């Protein structure tokens, strides 16, 4: 049911995008920072603080790897390296929490959007790409990463508006640093700007078209 609801929404949105065939085959960097993290209950999950239970934590190289990989997933759903990238950086128990996606896809607020890596990979068939994702800032502790980003190029290709606005968002990754994979994503973004850019009339300013 959840996939059907998301598919209904994103089928409408997808007319705004042309799926890029560009390859980011070289996005990945090698990381070797073992340690311990936890998926836990709730959108962010618990974390173990400085040092974790094994005394080892994420480093800057890990952060770069995860953000570059997830950027590829956002920009290239259905791309040639989507599945490989997802399997490399995401846990089998991968869960996404996003009321921003839920409200646009009519999924109950406060519930997970995807509850497994397999479900997330299936979403590539109906999720439109965010054409250009840029990093604003990052912060990390032992096993969590906060990433502020913007996406440009979000539009309805059949009826582009005159004043598109970058879509701003923030994602928190909870990482199991024993397996060195992301277990939980908490993602929110400006849904009003997104709707404005794809031409929803209720989100247009009073001066649009004048």
Residues 99, 109: contact at Cβ < 8 Å?
yes
pLDDT of residue 55: 53
pLDDT of residue 163: 84
Q: Which ranges in the chain belong to alpha helices (H)?
A: 2-13, 60-75, 82-89, 99-104, 117-122, 191-197
pLDDT of residue 105: 81
Region 87-97: mean pLDDT is: 97
Q: Is the pLDDT of residue 50 over 60?
A: no
Under the banding of pLDDT at 50, 70 and 90, the label for residue 198 is confident
* Domains in the chain, CATH or no CATH each: 2-13+32-200 (3.10.450.50)
Under the banding of pLDDT at 50, 70 and 90, the label for residue 204 is low
pLDDT of residue 15: 34
Query: Distance between CA 162 and CA 179 in Å, rounded?
Result: 46
**Widest pairwise Cα distance in the chain:** 61
Q: Tell me the pLDDT tens digit for each residue of 55-82.
A: 589 999 999 999 999 999 999 998 999 9
pLDDT of residue 156: 79
Instruction: State pTM to two decimals.
Output: 0.72
């Amino acid at each position: 049911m959840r996939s059907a609801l998301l598919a209904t929404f994103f089928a409408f949105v997808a007319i705004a995008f042309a799926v890029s065939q560009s390859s980011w085959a070289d996005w990945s960097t090698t990381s070797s920072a073992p340690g311990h993290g936890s998926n836990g209950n709730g959108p962010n999950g618990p974390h173990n603080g400085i040092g974790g239970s094994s005394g080892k934590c994420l480093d800057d190289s890990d952060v770069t790897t995860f953000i570059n990989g997830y950027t590829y997933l956002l920009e290239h759903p259905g791309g040639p390296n989507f599945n490989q990238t997802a399997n490399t950086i995401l846990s089998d128990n991968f869960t996404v929490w996003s009321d921003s996606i839920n409200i646009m896809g009519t999924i109950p607020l406060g519930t997970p959007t995807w509850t497994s890596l397999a479900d997330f990979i299936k979403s590539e068939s109906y999720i439109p790409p965010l054409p250009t994702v840029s990093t604003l800032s990052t912060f990390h502790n032992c096993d969590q990463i906060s990433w502020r980003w913007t996406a440009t190029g979000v539009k309805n290709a059949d009826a582009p508006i005159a004043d598109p606005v970058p879509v701003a968002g923030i994602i928190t990754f909870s990482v199991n640093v024993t397996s060195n994979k992301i277990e939980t994503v908490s993602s929110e973004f400006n849904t009003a700007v997104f709707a404005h850019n794809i031409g929803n009339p209720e989100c247009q300013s009073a001066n649009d078209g004048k």
